[in-house]
Structure 1
Amino acid sequence: MHDLPVELVIPRLRLACRRCGSKLERLDWLAPFARVTTRLAASVARLCKMVSLRHVAEVYRLSWTAVKRIDQRHLEQELGQPLDLSGVTIIAMDEFAIQKGHRYATVVIEPSSKRVLWVGVWAFTRGHSSVL
């Protein structure tokens, strides 16, 4: 059914437990309260890295807000919660070699409090750099 819109109606078992009450069967491929499968969400998030949200919404025939929610959830899982930058007025950045060779790291700090804001490790090979 690749690239065809499909509506799934899945009967889920409801189990009655004397200790913990009523529970619904857990489906690995569907996040709780999700309207799309985890596979579709991963595919949408992958395409969001390359093109605009509007274009992704057109390709998958989803609303712009649904694509935005999927992308935001994916970014939060991948990068964590957004950093609180309130009060930060000056930043400093340093790049340094980790080992002899082509492994480097970049650190961004707030100089006044010496708080580390971000650290990125990356490698440089044959004219290409990649974040590790």
Structure 2
Amino acid sequence: MRIDDSSLRPEPVLEIRVRSRKGSLRCSSCGRKRRGYDRGGDVHRWRHQDFGCWRVELVALMPRVDCPRCGVVVARLPRAEPGSRFARDFEAECAWLTAVANRKTAGSFLHVAWRTAGDIARRVAERLKASTLSPFDGLTAISVDETGYRKGHTYVTVVVDHERRRVIRAYDGVGKEVFGLFCQ
């Protein structure tokens, strides 16, 4: 078999056309379920995780909803954050790579600019920070341990949440002043 022409040339790209389910539309501003306004006229593309040597792009219409609170706005999409050109899975992979390698390496591996890799990592970190509870929420019982290491010349003060069984904070040093850092 011989291939004369392919939509995969010059760069192998796999386009996956997706659409929203009926009745699952939410306002991108307030997050409430709303009825659809129209199917949207603009086709949008999101970069997704690669499939082997193929770059994957999700392609979809941008449906809009009629929200009494926010007006006619683009519906929230489960596959991407508002305003992003990348799917959530791609952003998570990029953020993980920038955590274990530098931005230039992550960018070249994912075929994006190093600045884009840094922006994605920052955006994912902010999203995680906003959704993560404070370690002090519901805190009722703690323990404080001052532990020495390196033949007793270096100390660390560790504050632990007993109920969740996890470290809340750890500080170099010992004494009232160091514990005072936790109380601030």
Q: Structures share a fold, TM > 0.5?
A: yes
1:73 to 123, 134, 152: 123
Whether contact under 8 Å (2:171, 2:178) holds in the other structure is: no
Task: For structure 2, list consecutive stretches of 5 or more residues without a partner in the other structure.
Answer: 1-13, 15-50, 131-154
1:115 aligned residue: 181
- In 2 relative to 1, CA 37–95 (structure 1 residues): closer, same or farther, beyond 3 Å? same
- Equivalent positions of 1:83-102 (< 5 A) are 93-95=156-158
Q: What amino acid is aligned across from residue 28 of structure 1 in structure 2?
A: P
Whether contact under 8 Å (1:93, 1:106) holds in the other structure is: no
CA deviation vs aligned residue, 1:62-115 (integer Å, no higher than 9, x gap): 0111100111223334457xxxxxxxxxxx94137777xxx7665338938923
2:77 to 27, 34, 41: 27
The CA RMSD measured in Å over matched residues stands at 3.6
Distance 2:169 2:178 in 1: 19
Q: What amino acid is aligned across from residue 157 of structure 2 in structure 1?
A: D
Distance 1:47 1:30 in 2: 19
Whether contact under 8 Å (1:47, 1:56) holds in the other structure is: yes
1:87 aligned residue: none
1:86 aligned residue: none
2:111 aligned residue: 61
Pair member with larger Rg? 2
Give the share of equivalent positions with the same residue, in percent.
20
Task: For structure 1, list consecutive stretches of 5 or more residues without a partner in the other structure.
Answer: 81-91, 118-132
TM-score, with length taken from structure 2? 0.44
